[in-house]
Amino acid sequence: MLYLKTDEEVEQLRKSNMLVSKALAEVAVLICPGVSTLYLDKVADEFIHDNGGLPAFKGYGGFPNTLCTSVNDEVVHGIPSGYILKEGDIISIDCGVILDGWYGDSAYTFAVGEIKKDLKRLLDFTRLSLEEGVKEAIAGNRVGDISWAVQSKAESGGYSVVRELVGHGLGRKLHEPPEVPNYGKRGTGPKMEKGLVICIEPMINLGKKETFQMKDGWTIRTADGKPSAHFEYAVAIDRERADVLTTFKFIEEVLNKM
Ligand code: MG
Ligand code: MG
Domain ranges of the chain: 7-257
pLDDT, tens digit (0-9, with 9 covering 90-100), for 146-205: 999 999 999 999 999 999 999 999 999 999 999 999 999 999 999 999 999 999 999 999
Residues of the chain above pLDDT 70, percent: 100
Q: What is the mean pLDDT of residues 59-84?
A: 98
**What's the CA-to-centroid distance between 106 and ligand 2, angstroms?**
6
93 backbone φψ class: left, alpha, beta (φ>0; ψ -120 to 50): beta
Q: Edge-to-edge, what's the strand order for the sheet holding 243-244?
A: 176-180, 167-169, 197-200, 233-236, 243-244
pLDDT computed for residue 191 by the predictor: 98
pLDDT confidence of residue 80: 98
Percentage helix, strand, coil for the chain under 3-state DSSP, each rounded to 5? 30, 25, 40
CATH 3.90.230.10 at 7-257, yes or no: yes
Instruction: Calculate mean pLDDT across residues 67-78.
Output: 98
- 50 phi and psi, to 5 degrees? -60, -20
Sequence-distant (6+) residues with CB within 8 A of 30 are 39, 40, 43
Ligand nearest to the CA of residue 230, numbered in listed order: 1
Which pLDDT band, with edges at 50, 70 and 90, does 1 fall under?
Answer: confident
Q: How far is the CA of 258 from the centre of ligand 2 (A)?
A: 28
Ligand 1 centroid – CA 256 distance (Å): 24
> Distance between CA atoms of 10 and 243, rounded to whole angstroms?
9
Q: What is the mean pLDDT of the chain?
A: 98
Cis omega before residue 227 (within 30°)? Answer: no
pLDDT at 56 over 90: yes
Those residues whose C-beta lies under 8 Å from the C-beta of residue 108, and which sit 6 or more positions away, are 24, 28, 92, 93, 231, 232, 248, 251
CA distance 227 to 211: 11
Ligand nearest to C-alpha 56: 1
Could you tell me the distance, in angstroms and rounded to a whole number, from the CA of residue 35 to the centre of ligand 2?
Answer: 25
State in Å, rounded, how far the first CA of the chain is from the last one: 45
Q: What average pLDDT score do residues 59-76 get?
A: 98
Q: Identify which ligand lies nearest to the alpha carbon of 168.
A: 2
Cα 93 to middle of ligand 2, angstroms? 11
Tell me which residue of 179, 199, 198 sits closest to 94, measured CA to CA.
199
**Distance, CA 78 to ligand 1 centroid (Å)?**
12
CB 1 within 8 A of CB 196: no
Q: What is the mean pLDDT of residues 106-115?
A: 98
Amino acid at the residue 31: I
From the CA of 68, how far away is ligand 2's center (Å)?
11
- Considering Cα of 9, then 11, then 17, then 19, what sign does the dihedral take? negative
Residue 112 has pLDDT above 90, yes or no: yes
Distance 57 CA to ligand 1 centre (A): 9
| CA separation for the pair 166, 26 (Å, rounded) | 26
Q: Helix, strand, or coil here: 88?
A: coil
Ligand 2 is an ion; its neighbours by CB within 5 Å are 105, 199
Measure 38 CA to ligand 2 centroid, in angstroms.
21
Residue 227 has pLDDT above 90, yes or no: yes
**CA–CA separation, 202 and 132 (whole Å):** 11
